[in-house]
Structure 1
Amino acid sequence: MPTTLTIKGQVTIPKQIRDALGLTPGTPIDFAVNRDGEVVLHKARAGRGAKAAKVPADRFEAARGKADVKWRTQDLMALLRG
């Protein structure tokens, strides 16, 4: 599965590899070079790396349940519809 290195030193990890390792956007990754000079990619374990914190599955998960305003659906719809 060849890929191309960008001018910024970035590569796209092929989907087969991402799926096999369970990699999703924001997943911390460890890189290593073995004795044969091959690069090895590992999904980082919890507590390792600067961004080892759990990343929500989607961007709305982080906001879910955070509102401090208790709207009733009818009141909200009346406000939105004018």
Structure 2
Amino acid sequence: MSKVSNLTVKGQVTIPKDVRDALGLKPNEPVEIDWRGGDEAVIRKPKLDREAEVQRLIAEMRAASDRFAHLRENRSTDEIMQDIRGDDPFLS
């Protein structure tokens, strides 16, 4: 199957809908472009590195957990607010 699409002044190309549908491409998802040399390139849906994605999500969750660790110390809200505000009587 051969399709023709125009290149915009910004260097963008619209991938025809039937091709997007066949490849399972969705808006704002990456596409992989493989230059084959000469005047040939292949556009494909990239294979996701699921393990890398899982590790990235785990790191994000750990960072969020660390940011809120003070909430797991069974302290009252007043004690936590005192720590945040410090000893300034005008902030109490």
Pairs aligned (count):
49
Which structure 1 segments of 5+ residues have no match?
53-82
Alpha-carbon RMSD across the aligned residues, in angstroms, is 2.2
Which stretches of structure 1, 4 residues or more, deviate above 2 A after TM superposition? none
What TM-score, normalized to structure 1? Answer: 0.51
Report the 3-state secondary structure (helix = DSSP H, G, I; strand = E; otherwise coil) of the residue aligned with 1:45. coil
Match 1:6 to one of 4, 8, 12: 8
Deviation at residue 33 of structure 1 after TM alignment? 1.5
Match 2:26 to one of 24, 27, 42: 24
Q: Which has the higher helix share?
A: 2
Q: What does residue range 62-77 of structure 1 map to in structure 2 within 5 Å? A: none
1:45 aligns with 2:85: no
Higher relative contact order (CA 8 A, sep 6+): 1
Report the 3-state secondary structure (helix = DSSP H, G, I; strand = E; otherwise coil) of the residue aligned with 1:8. coil
In 2: Cα distance, 1:23 partner to 1:7 partner: 23
Which structure 2 segments of 5+ residues have no match?
54-92
What TM-score, normalized to structure 2? Answer: 0.46
The AA in structure 2 aligned to 1:40 is V
